[in-house]
Amino acid sequence: HAHGDYLIYATPIKEGGQFRLAGRIEKKAGEEVLVHEFVRADVFTSLDDAVEFTIRKAKLIIDQNGASLFPGK
């Protein structure tokens, strides 16, 4: 999923019968791809819900942090 100049990848982590909210945010900077991975405490019984909320959370992270997601870059 694209959000501005960023790409969002939902990568929920299966834990027993639930899925933990987790994902990756990427941004291309010239030839380099900057990556920010995140895992949250939220768990869901449905994989679809975990993916949906991961994308929502990633958009919020991008909107709140922007370029500071990639310190030193």
CATH number of the domain within which 34 lies: 3.30.160
Alpha helices in 1-73 (DSSP H): 47-65
For residue 58, the tally of other CB atoms under 10 A from its CB is 23
Report helix, strand or coil for 57.
Answer: helix
| Mean pLDDT on 45-72 | 94
Query: Does residue 63 belong to any structural domain of this protein?
Result: yes
Tokens of 1: 């999923």
73 assigned to some structural domain: no
The answer to whether residue 7 sits within a structural domain is yes
Q: Tell me: pLDDT of 67 over 90.
A: no
What is the reported pLDDT for 6? Answer: 97
Tens digits of residue pLDDT in 5-56: 999 999 999 999 999 999 999 999 999 999 999 999 999 999 999 999 999 9
What is the domain count for the chain?
1
Q: What band does 73 get if pLDDT is binned at 50, 70 and 90?
A: low
Q: Which domain holds residue 11?
A: 2-68
